[in-house]
Structure 1
Amino acid sequence: MQLSGFNNTSNRVFDFICLWILPLGYFLLLCAMFFLPGRSLHHKMFYGLFSIPSFIVLCLRPRELKELLREPIFVAVLLFAAWALLSLSWGPPMDQSVTGQFKPALHTLLLFAGCYLLVRYRSEIIQPLLFSAAMVGLIASAYNLFMFTRHYEPGMRLIGSGAFDNPLLSSHVFGFFCTYWLSVSMTCKRRQMLWLSIPAMAIMFATVIATGSRTPLVALTLAALWLSFISWNRRSFILLGTLLIGGAAVAVLFSQMIVERGDSYRFEIWQLALQKIAEHPWIGHGYNATLTLDPGIGYTLQEPHSFALGVLYYVGIFGLLPWLFFQVRCLLNSWRYRLQPLFIIASTWLVFGIGAGLTEGGGIISRPKEHWFLLWIPLALVAALSINQRARRLLAMPIRTLTPAALQQLTASAQVIEEDGLGPKVLRLVDGSFLKLFRRRRWYTSGSFNPYSERFAANSEQLRNLGIPTPQILDLYRLKDGSSAVHYSPLPGSTLRQVLQGITAPAVRQALVERFGKFMAQLHEQGVYFRSLHLGNVLVLDDGEFGLIDLADMRIYPSSLSLSLRKRNLRHMQRYAVDRRWLFEDHFGALLQGYAVMASKSAVDNLHRQVLTGSHPARAH
């Protein structure tokens, strides 16, 4: 009993962290620098809301590490971090404890672990999270830009409010979100989002220009080129044309900003850095080594102004190899899975970071700061997406545009199975397949970021991975009016309600209800919360197994369902008069007996109490 109680508590903690804490921590990691008073608070926020919770989750369920360790990107990052920490043995004497040196590497690895858990268990929230963080960045940047123009004097450079204290470092984050809006403008399918993304991108680009930094201009150019090819469509021609015109405009309007500082001593700095790298080219000077460069400008520099040179200086060629590998692998994975919009966004961020890292940066592993937006944040997201895409938890099916003429041709002579006041909702086509239509949702709702047709398809795939039969998805469609549709092959069988209606022998019906109780317990134990669970959405297949249909309104939780969610599931079934009579009146004992085969005693007792105390009005069906 004590062990069962402990497992239940650990499951609830695991679920709470994965479903709520990690999304909040990730959101604040992306946008909190715009309003926090300093980096120190940003670090603590990341540690408390993302890094440490990820560590707790891995302690509660160590098997989650298996998928991480099968991902080449994460393995390369792990090798890079391990080599960096090993280099402490030949680096200079440490000014701080060994634990202090290990912490940045550990928190970086936990960023990857947390992103993997976030994408695995809350994949539907990733796009809304990115959008919300980008909106915070947009509003803050618009305010910063407004205040900057009010107090502008020649030579001033925008820094930004919040935790920003340097125009160049600020430009990394501004460019990061400019890249996001650029990606959205290329991948979004709704006009409202397109009309929002274009002015948002313009505001963020103006903010980048106001910082007076030239590096993000190069990085944005590379990101735009990558984006135009990875999401090749008609907008790519517009983007490439805009890139040429915009580049010419920037060169003319801001030529002084671009030319007056020359090369900013970059060649001298790189030459000095290469001379020091040549002293220990293979193993580097050590992760904790200090770097002092004097290019003759009156003060010394502590960075080589190039991420690649920084890696070579600190950990040498042996450290550079995994560093190059995980970036190249990220880009290859993103190209391979480019049908998934999140890969396009994340890889474009990475290309922006690669461009910015050509002439800036140098520290290889650090606490959360602006440099994370150039490398670690995009890398962690691509790695997480790659793991879950390979596990078939993410949708990897092209979404076709269905014109009114094509829709009319597809549904010619179709039988209407279900309809509402707006027209047909489910149709049986002449070939026996089904077409399910989902009405257009408001652009700012979750149904806009994750259309219900795509949820239907993703849920179908995930249930199949759990061994639960579901309809085979044939195609996904987007209609001109903003609606969406899923085309699928039906499961061979009849609904459980129809089968029970056709059974005259009470003993046979009782046996079937007992089997359904076991099936329902299986769903609950596997974390499947099917909001629309009733006997009309459960099929009895030709082989006697149970299958599920109407899958859009469903979520798979990290652990077995809590007692409260099980109650909600039962309440939904109690609303249907026929279901209630068969399941909770005539054959309630059989239902409990079947449920007890898979579920714990507390869950069975909970079901019993729920039925005995339930007083919900039943629906006729």
Structure 2
Amino acid sequence: MDFSAQKQVLPRWLAMWLLVGVLWFLAAIAWMPTNKLYQQGLVAFLWLPALLTLFIRPAHCWVLVRSNLPLFLAFTGLFIWSAAGLLQNEPDLFARELKRQLYVGLFLLGVGMLVTYDRQLAYRVFIVAALLMAIAALVSMVDFYGLQGHPLRRRLQGIGQLFHPILGGYVIGLMAAWLLCSSVNRWLKLVSVILLLVFMLLTQSRGVWLAFLAVCVLMPVWRSSRRGWVPLLLLMLIFAPLAFVFIDVILLRGFSYRPEIWLKSLELIGLSPVWGVGFAGDYHIVGESGKVFPHAHNLLLDVAVTSGVPAALLWMVIWGLVAWKAWQHHKTPLGSLLCASVVFSTMACLFDASSLWGTPRPEWFLTWLSLGIALGLGRTSVPAAVSQT
């Protein structure tokens, strides 16, 4: 590199500012009572310091780009193509929605910079956030079933922005997957994971469990340890009886119209395969029974509907590069977390996630967060001494 080591390092005060912002993104989504407060905190604690890095350490930002050139080019292509599709379909909304796209860019820069500054510090931030979310899961259950008095068989609605049973369940499930990959104290991990899993069970979301089960099954592949099978065995022993109690509720919803929704989504894609319908507007899928669905319930199909098939292909390239980056660093603590995120998010996005370019919301945990972590890992070789137990 053609600049001094001193210039490569962010000022400590700026790094700590980014740390607060990333922690806010991860945990305040549960603890803030309104979405407005959550968004305002992101502006103050994450967007602003990320923007400052462009002026204070431009060379550092350039290194982040150079060390992730394929990812950067794929993201830039997706950004431009989606913006062009929006301009084609909804020019009146172009300025407003372009601002949201820029927010995504600042988010990626902020997360990437924190990971680049200190991977171990970033790892601790993610684990602390997961532990805070375990507390949020407990508070949610006490509030919803205890204080509000809802019956136990009603789908749990969490506190803060975790009120949606499906999306809130995915955020909680990702935190549980992270803790399984962590080196936290054994008993603290056990209690926290149990709280998170009970929350997931009470949301009655089957997609969350499929995503979490995929992590449990594949974890031994990247952790290279016999103990990697322990979470799966514990999961079966503890939660199989509980799942049996709710079996009628689980089977009642069948496939939740997913095959029908996906087929109708393909028909929409066929109407505008190049530019899509524009990601700013709402589209609706009308089933054979007349039931209306707000999105495709599949991220790849949603991107193809809103921004065209080329955008969907670009997203596939991005996600493949993120997965490859995770595998390159799978022996490091942060790389292990990224592997869990990729597996969990891939399954989640197959059944429920939608919208890449919306304001910060639970879906970002399944999409942009993994990309931000991957950008921070860069091309640096993995230390041989660092391994997972």
TM-score of the aligned structures, taking structure 2 as reference length? 0.89
Moved more, 235-244 or 342-351: 235-244
Tell me which amino acid in the other structure corresponds to 1:49. Answer: F
Aligned residue runs from structure 1 range 259-298, under 5 A:
259-295=251-287
Superposition deviation, residue 274 in structure 1: 0.9
Partner of 1:219: 211
Aligned residue runs from structure 1 range 133-148, under 5 A:
133-148=129-144
Partner of 2:185: 193
Aligned equivalents of 1:89, 1:28: Cα separation in 2: 33
Superposition deviation, residue 297 in structure 1: 5.8
Are 2:312 and 1:320 equivalent residues in the alignment? yes
Moved more, 246-255 or 231-240: 246-255
Moved more, 233-242 or 339-348: 233-242
Partner of 2:4: none
Aligned equivalents of 1:282, 1:224: Cα separation in 2: 38
Post-superposition CA distance 1:497-516 (Å, at most 9, x none): xxxxxxxxxxxxxxxxxxxx
Partner of 2:352: 360
Tell me which amino acid in the other structure corresponds to 2:122. Answer: I
Superposition deviation, residue 364 in structure 1: 2.2
Partner of 1:130: 126
Are 2:69 and 1:82 equivalent residues in the alignment? no
Aligned residue runs from structure 1 range 345-384, under 5 A:
345-384=337-376
Partner of 2:163: 165
Superposition deviation, residue 22 in structure 1: 0.3
Aligned equivalents of 2:380, 2:129: Cα separation in 1: 27
Aligned equivalents of 2:150, 2:118: Cα separation in 1: 44
Aligned equivalents of 2:233, 2:101: Cα separation in 1: 42
Identity %: 23
Change (3 A) 1:400 1:167: closer
Change (3 A) 1:281 1:204: same
Aligned equivalents of 1:281, 1:17: Cα separation in 2: 47
| Structure with more strand by fraction | 1
The correspondence for 1:34, drawn from 15, 23, 30, is 30
Partner of 2:172: 174
Aligned equivalents of 2:87, 2:143: Cα separation in 1: 49
Are 2:217 and 1:230 equivalent residues in the alignment? no
Do the aligned residues in 1 keep the contact of 2:215 with 2:340 (CA within 8 Å)?
yes
Superposition deviation, residue 138 in structure 1: 1.2
Aligned equivalents of 1:346, 1:155: Cα separation in 2: 34
The correspondence for 1:337, drawn from 304, 329, 334, is 329
Superposition deviation, residue 89 in structure 1: 2.8
Do the aligned residues in 2 keep the contact of 1:18 with 1:117 (CA within 8 Å)?
no
The correspondence for 2:52, drawn from 45, 56, 59, is 56
Change (3 A) 1:384 1:276: same
After TM superposition, the runs of 4+ consecutive aligned structure 1 residues lying more than 3 A away are: 239-251, 296-299
Tell me which amino acid in the other structure corresponds to 2:198. Answer: A
Do the aligned residues in 1 keep the contact of 2:172 with 2:196 (CA within 8 Å)?
yes
Q: CA RMSD in A?
A: 2.4
| Structure with more helix by fraction | 2
Do the aligned residues in 1 keep the contact of 2:301 with 2:312 (CA within 8 Å)?
no
Are 2:253 and 1:258 equivalent residues in the alignment? no
Tell me which of the two structures has the higher relative contact order, counting C-alpha pairs closer than 8 angstroms and 6 or more residues apart: 2
Partner of 2:3: none
Aligned residue runs from structure 1 range 451-600, under 5 A:
none
Post-superposition CA distance 1:332-355 (Å, at most 9, x none): 222122121101112211221111
Larger radius of gyration: 1
Aligned residue runs from structure 1 range 89-104, under 5 A:
89-94=87-92, 96=93, 98-104=94-100
Partner of 2:383: 396
Superposition deviation, residue 201 in structure 1: 0.9
Superposition deviation, residue 384 in structure 1: 1.0
Post-superposition CA distance 1:372-403 (Å, at most 9, x none): 11111122112212x1xx245xx6123589xx
Aligned equivalents of 1:221, 1:373: Cα separation in 2: 18
Do the aligned residues in 2 keep the contact of 1:54 with 1:113 (CA within 8 Å)?
yes
The correspondence for 1:69, drawn from 55, 65, 69, is 65
Change (3 A) 1:256 1:315: same
Superposition deviation, residue 200 in structure 1: 1.1
- Partner of 2:293: helix, strand, or coil? coil
Are 2:303 and 1:307 equivalent residues in the alignment? no
Aligned residues: 378
